[in-house]
Structure 1
Amino acid sequence: MFTLPETNFNFGGDEYIYAEISRDMRVESNFKALAITAELRKRNIPGITDIASSNASYLVRYNPDIISARDLLDYLREIDLTKSNPKELNLSVRMVEIPIWYDDPVTREYSERFKDRHDSPDMTNFEYVMRMNGFKDKEAFIEKHSSTPYLITMVGFLPGTAWHFPLGIHPEEMIQAPKYASPRTNTPARSIGIGGAFNVIYPVNGPGSYQLVGMSAVPVVDHEKYLPELDSYFLARAGDIWKYRSIDESEYGRIRAAVEEGTYKYRMKNLELSPLEYAEKGHGYIHELTGDF
């Protein structure tokens, strides 16, 4: 049976405790961070003012006038111990479908606009990522990228930004790409970016350095119209699984119209994710879990 990494705790000034589970990105470390932060929120410990889960760590902010650093550290160590047994870890997550128009005109335009900041200015970002991963056929690349489920490991930077990491894929088989040599000063909202093995969907226009490969037809943040089916202004939740679906220009237009009319419904389902089964079965378990979604 696999073991979860041991957590290292560090104080950050008078109000923070930083818990580092591992230095490198490991899905197992993220599972543990998600489980611990969920348990912390459930306990509602007086004095804790904020809890933030990251890729392989988490941060807790507290009020030292209400709870001492040492008492909080005792709480964290006790919870950490209970969440270090993979048999005890089960995560309630959602699987969400994201319809994507790959190699679209907008991201091609941005590739051209900021080519002076790119290591390969003669290519679009889409072509560059294909080349970096040994693909010569566009459809084969799209099939690989869209057939992989992605775990939301962290939410932050710009509000609604979700870093998602491929599940059930051996590291050598992951689609990966280096970031821009110098960041873009602008990136279109809803564009899909790849940096390292991580994917992001940019929630709003803003700077960015990930390679752009397509556009999401659906928003991941909505500041104007509350998203009632999600109970949030943001689509992403740490621990959720996103699955891309390739669409063409015509379907992209239909979905965008439904979004603007307020009639679009996200396709999603609730899942119980077992980190132990994931470690034992890998891709096979993810395939069983997601089925024909």
Structure 2
Amino acid sequence: MASFSISIAGDSAINLEFARTISPETSRLVRAAAQTLSEDRILGVTELVPTFCSLMVCYDPGLIGYDDLCARVTGKLRTITGSADSLHRIVTIPVCYGGEYGPDLQTVADHAGLSPREVIELHSGRDYLIDMLGFLPGFAYLGGLDERLHTPRLASPRTVIPAGSVGIGGAQTGIYPLASPGGWQLIGRTPVLPYDPARAQPILYAAGDYIRFSPISEKRYQAIQAQVDNGTYHYEITMEEN
């Protein structure tokens, strides 16, 4: 049985905490719990919100009580495991690094004692597990950033960050899907749309998917942006074995 604690989260939610430390194993447990409860369709459960180490279960107290919900959840999650899936989904994100697209690339390089080229190679040289979505629609919190690239957030956040900006904040990297304020170090930008409310599936990826950053030139950036704007761009999404 998966080990987790249950705590009250207001008058219409409970929080299931599986660990206190972020890890791929914990992320898989949280996703497995969310999938199990989603498939079970417990009467009164209105929403499931997975995070790094916990799952919030929102419910209607008029349809199910706290004690009954806790009993149902505990019973349903008795046999879940955090074992890795045989296949995982990879979403490739083209990124133009540096220049006006990544104004903090040199700052990250200086902090790491590396050249900008080495930062790009390290950042794009591995796949990143999406631990959770939050902050903005389609903002993916990614695990697995090379320790050499860990860089403190800006002392004074920017009031506006362009949509598609790729940044580093502490031990994490991520993509700003919408223009917004933010304090992460910006190292590049993608011309694709992680979030598009006009798409049948508005958010391009989900927790449990992987993101692969692919360096591109400014010329290629502009070409892809034109394809995105006219609806002819084909997103690169593949299934690969673990």
Q: What TM bracket, shorter-length normalisation?
A: over 0.9
Partner of 1:38: 35
Match of 1:101 in 2: 96
Q: Paired residue for 2:186?
A: 212
Determine if the alignment matches structure 1 residue 8 to structure 2 residue 26. Answer: no
Partner Cα separation in structure 2 for residue 107 and residue 144 of structure 1: 15
* Number of residue equivalences: 242
The residue that corresponds to 1:113 in the other structure is none
Cα pair distance change 1:53/1:9, threshold 3 Å: same
How far 1:13 moved relative to its partner?
2.2
The AA in structure 1 aligned to 2:223 is R
* Conserved 8 A contact 1:104-1:215: no
In structure 1, C-alpha distance between the alignment counterparts of 2:42 and 2:231, rounded to whole Å? 39
Match of 1:146 among 100, 112, 124: 124
1:91 CA displacement: 7.3
Structure 1 residue 17 and structure 2 residue 40: aligned?
Answer: no
Shift of 1:97: 0.4
Identity of aligned residues (%): 33
Distance 1:160 1:238, change over 3 A: same
CA shift digits 1:208-252 (9 cap, x unpaired): 1111000012111113x32xxxx4111121111000000111111
Normalised by the length of structure 1, the TM-score is 0.77
- The residue number in structure 1 matching 2:203 is 234
More helix by share: 1
* AA partner of residue 63 (structure 1): D
Q: 1:81 to 1:174 in 2, by over 3 A?
A: farther
Equivalents in 1 of 2:162, 2:28: separation in Å?
A: 31
Name the structure 2 match of 1:120: none
Instruction: Give the match for residue 229 of structure 2.
Output: 260
3-state secondary structure, aligned to 1:82: coil
Q: SS at 2:91's partner residue?
A: strand
**RMSD, aligned α-carbons:** 2.0
For residues 20-53 of structure 1, the C-alpha deviation after alignment (integer angstroms, 9 at most, x for no partner) is 2222222211111011101111111110001010
Structure showing the higher strand proportion among its residues? 2
Q: Deviations over 1:165-186 (max 9, x none)?
A: 127x6xxx45211111232211
Which letter maps to 2:195?
A: V
Compared CA separation, residues 91 and 154, structure 1 to 2 (3 A): farther
Q: Give the TM-score of the pair, scaled to structure 2.
A: 0.92
User: Does the CA contact (< 8 Å) of 2:101 and 2:187 recur in 1?
Assistant: no
Match of 1:156 among 126, 131, 134: 134
Alignment of 1:176-191 (within 5 A): 176-191=150-165
Tell me the equivalent position of 2:149.
175
**Alpha-carbon spacing, 1:7–1:78, altered in 2? closer, same or farther (3 Å):** same
The offset of 1:92, in angstroms, is: 6.0
- What letter corresponds to residue 79 of structure 2 in structure 1? T
Distance, in Å, in 2 between the alignment partners of 1:232 and 1:269 is 16
Q: Which residue of structure 2 aligns with residue 246 of structure 1? A: 215
Conserved 8 A contact 2:138-2:177: yes
CA distance in 2, matches of 1:151, 1:189: 21
Aligned to 1:185, the other structure's residue is in SS state strand
Letter in 2 for 1:241: Y
User: Contact 1:189–1:204 (CA<8 Å) still a contact in 2?
Assistant: yes
Distance in 1 separating the partners of 2:138 and 2:234: 18
